[in-house]
Amino acid sequence: MKMYYEKDVDVDILKDKTVAVIGYGSQGMAQSRNMHESGLNVVVGLRKDGASWNKAKEDGLTVMTIEEAAAKADVIHVLIPDEIQAKVYEESIKDNLESGNTISFSHGYNIHFGYINPPKDVNITMIAPKGPGAMVRKTYEEGFGVPGLIAIERDYTGDAFKIALAMGQGSGLTRAGVLETTFKEETETDLFGEQVVLCGGVTELIAAGFQTLVDAGYQPEIAYFETCHEVKLIVDLIYAKGFAGMWNDVSNTAEYGGLSRRKRIITDETRLEMKKALEEIQTGEFAKEWTLENQAGKPMLNRLRAIEASLQIEKVGSKLRKLCGLQK
């Protein structure tokens, strides 16, 4: 494993280059502001007079249409949602690329699955913060940063790695450390983590635990505290100290109960489903499913969102978060 830090950055590699950040959502806002404040020449490419246009201007950034930004830039850093990247690339970026340009991403999805195919005479790079945009911005303002990943899919100019690493420095990532990976590894592990653990697995585990207690006659508010609210406390311990540190900080009763019961919850059948989910990612089956879902107008996603919003745990949680001052 090789980690890269501030000392590894060629500070002059982007001195005479323009970086166009395409998009001004969570990551676009954080990375463009961080790079701008780090002294890089940054422009933001947005839909003319869209919701983010004035916001980016108010934040002190130079704002252009996506076509103008792509034409002006030496590095085009694409930070719009995965599902619209290919369309925006074809309509607004592709014809504005010049030989020797760099097209950059913070997630390898569209390159790895072949939805975007840049010409052979441009670099294809990735610099990916391992944290949400709000945290990328917050830690930068505090003088530090979140860790990141770096990957080079194509090095046409011979200095693609240096360019990507300098962008990582601009966003504050080299303060914490940047780990080298590949587009394939980043994409497949990122999707797997989201589906099986971080988003899909965790929410289903919490919801199942909550419902088990409520169905057994316990107060929904108590069930929420025990199965949802306290998850953050345990995750924070694991984040800071690892499994062993977390077990050391909870009671012996919690440690014994957790260690002796967890394989009854995450069973061999669950692990087989994890492998199946990974196979669907690796073969491109999930990517094809997600493409068709978007082409159809997201009917399944909209239905799943409606079901999630109607869950009892959501209603109870909203009430308790307001009472605890966690939510307005």
Two tokens, residue 43: 């422009």
Two tokens, residue 24: 């001004």
Q: What is the pLDDT of residue 1?
A: 76
Q: What is the pLDDT of residue 2?
A: 87
Q: What is the pLDDT of residue 324?
A: 82
Q: What is the pLDDT of residue 323?
A: 87
Is domain 3-181 classified as CATH 3.40.50.880?
no
**Euclidean distance between CA atoms 71 and 76, whole angstroms:** 9
**Known binding-site residue numbers for Mg(2+):** 190, 194, 226, 230
**Known binding-site residue numbers:** 24-27, 47, 52, 133, 190, 194, 226, 230, 251
Segments of the chain with pLDDT less than 70: none
Two tokens, residue 99: 């030989």
Query: Contact, 3 vs 179, CB < 8 A?
Result: yes
Q: What is the DSSP letter of 318?
A: H
Neighbours of 166 (CB within 10 A): 25
Q: What is the pLDDT of residue 283?
A: 98
**Euclidean distance between CA atoms 18 and 7, whole angstroms:** 23
CA distances to 42, 52, 65, 137 from 45, in Å: 10, 10, 5, 19
Amino acid found at 146? V
Q: Which residues contact 165 (CB under 8 A, 6 or more apart)?
A: 4, 8, 9, 10, 127, 150, 174, 178
**The one catalytic residue among 36, 107, 112, 229:** 107
Q: What is the pLDDT of residue 49?
A: 79
Query: Contact, 126 vs 104, CB < 8 A?
Result: yes
- Residue written as tokens 């965790």? 202
Query: Contact, 9 vs 174, CB < 8 A?
Result: yes
- Is 107 labeled as catalytic in the residue annotation? yes
**Known binding-site residue numbers for NADP(+):** 24-27, 47, 52, 133
**Euclidean distance between CA atoms 206 and 225, whole angstroms:** 11
Question: Which secondary structure element, helix H or strand E, spans residue 28, and what is its range?
Answer: helix 26-37
